[in-house]
């Protein structure tokens, strides 16, 4: 069970506390991860089950990914579970090179250890994710859901867009009381946030508005399979298309 939220501030104010901190985790273009001064984020995550990671992507790495995205395809994806459809977005197919690079960067043992320290979660075995867009006027949104499957421990969102937009708000709430404990609006490109996956929590993405386009890398840090097993299955199975 999750601990009660002890802060009296609003969810949005809580989410923005991290932005005033120096960058403490950053992924470099060569894949190296810098992680230092993590202790302040432990308390924030314990309070609101979500923490911001400003400038998670080094500027040179971010610029590279943004260039790759300009030539990447996006196709419609419906979010479903065993019972119903709960969302619709655009997403990058697995054969696109940028998605391969995205997985390569996020499957990093030093990053795993840093997030384990911040969140006090079980050992992370791998990261699995995707890149998606929600476009104003296209009914792109994701309703309340929990992601409690497939050995998922933590959720991740990284802003990979430079366009301005309204809406497109991530919200995290308690399932029983429906109290919103964390809310994250548009961030700078390269900024990220991590949130807890738990049977006691649900999250959603609201409609993107104001003629905008929200582009993000999203995914889950999972307990299983272990790092080597995932690397053997994913990086040998997925062969990115060459231009």
The CATH number of residue 101's host domain is 2.60.120.620
The pLDDT assigned to 21 comes to 53
The reply to whether 43 falls in a domain is yes
Parent domain of 158? 11-225
Percentage of residues in the chain with pLDDT exceeding 70? Answer: 87
The reply to whether 231 falls in a domain is no
The reply to whether 107 falls in a domain is yes
Higher-confidence position of 3 and 55? 55
The reply to whether 3 falls in a domain is no
The reply to whether 4 falls in a domain is no
Please write the tens of the pLDDT for every residue from 86-128: 788 999 999 999 999 999 999 999 999 999 999 999 999 999 9
Confidence of residue 82 (pLDDT cuts 50, 70, 90): low
The pLDDT assigned to 140 comes to 87
Tell me how many domains the chain contains. Answer: 1
The pLDDT assigned to 14 comes to 42
The reply to whether 230 falls in a domain is no
The reply to whether 239 falls in a domain is no
Mean pLDDT score across all residues of the chain: 87
Q: Show Cβ contacts of residue 159 under 8 Å, excluding neighbours closer than 6 positions.
A: 186, 187, 188, 189, 190, 191, 192, 215, 216
The reply to whether 236 falls in a domain is no
Higher-confidence position of 131 and 141? 131
């Amino acid at each position: 069970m999750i601990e009660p939220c002890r802060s009296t501030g609003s969810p949005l104010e809580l989410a923005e506390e991290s932005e005033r901190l120096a960058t403490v985790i950053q992924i470099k273009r060569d894949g190296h991860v810098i992680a230092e001064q993590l202790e302040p984020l432990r308390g924030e995550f314990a309070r609101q089950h979500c923490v911001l990671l400003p400038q998670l992507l080094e500027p040179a790495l971010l610029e590279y990914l943004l260039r790759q995205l300009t030539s990447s395809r996006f196709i419609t994806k419906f979010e479903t579970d065993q019972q119903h459809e709960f969302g619709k977005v655009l997403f990058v197919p697995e054969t696109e090179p940028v998605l391969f690079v995205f997985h390569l960067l996020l499957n990093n043992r030093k990053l795993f250890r840093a997030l384990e320290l911040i969140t006090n979660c079980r050992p992370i075995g791998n990261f699995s994710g995707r890149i998606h867009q929600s476009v104003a006027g296209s009914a792109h949104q994701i309703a309340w859901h929990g992601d409690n499957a497939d050995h998922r421990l933590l959720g991740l969102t990284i802003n990979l867009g430079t366009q301005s937009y309204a809406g497109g708000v991530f919200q995290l709430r308690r399932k029983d009381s429906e109290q919103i404990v964390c809310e994250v609006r548009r961030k700078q490109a390269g900024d990220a946030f991590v949130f807890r996956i738990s049977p006691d929590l649900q999250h959603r993405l609201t409609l993107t508005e104001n003629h905008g386009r929200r582009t993000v890398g999203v995914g889950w840090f999972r307990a299983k399979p272990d790092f080597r097993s995932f690397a053997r299955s994913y990086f040998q199975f997925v062969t990115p298309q060459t231009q």
